[in-house]
Amino acid sequence: MPRGKFDSKKLKRAGEYKIESSTASKVKKMIAEADEEFEETRVNFRWGRHQLDQVKQAAKLMGVPYQTYLKQVVYRQSLIDLKSAADFSRGT
C-alpha cells in the first residue's frame, strides 16, 4: 500500500483506464474464480452425536477433515446410485 497523501489529480476519469493484455487475462481468471465461489451451496443437516463421532473416526483414518470426508463419500455414493439407476432403466 503506498504511503503518503492521496492525490485525486492523479486519478483518471471513469472509462479512461486501460488494462494491459497480460493483466486483463489475470483479471478475467480472478473474476471467474470469484464467480465460481458464489456457485457453491451450503448443505446443513442434523445427526446424532454417535453418528458424527463415527464419521469423524473414519475421516481420521483416511487422513482428511470430516467435512471433506463427508463430501467425498456422498459424492462417490451418488455416482454409484446414478449408475445403478441408469443400468436398471436400460434393463442391464
pLDDT in tens, 26-38: 877 877 777 776 6
pLDDT digits (tens, 9 = 90+) for 17-66: 566 777 778 877 877 777 776 667 788 889 999 999 999 999 999 999 99
Judge whether 20 lies within some domain: yes
Q: What is the grid cell recorded at 36?
A: 465460481
**Does the residue 26 lie in any domain?**
yes
Domain count, the chain: 1
Residue 54, C-alpha cell as written in the block: 463415527
Residue 5, in any domain of the structure: no
* Predicted model pTM: 0.53
Q: For residue 68, give its domain range.
A: 16-90
Q: Is residue 35 part of a domain?
A: yes
User: Is residue 4 situated within a structural domain?
Assistant: no
- Check residue 47 and give left, alpha or beta (phi > 0: left; psi -120 to 50: alpha): beta
For residue 40, being part of any structural domain is answered with yes
Report helix, strand or coil for 64. Answer: coil
Cell of 26: 489475470
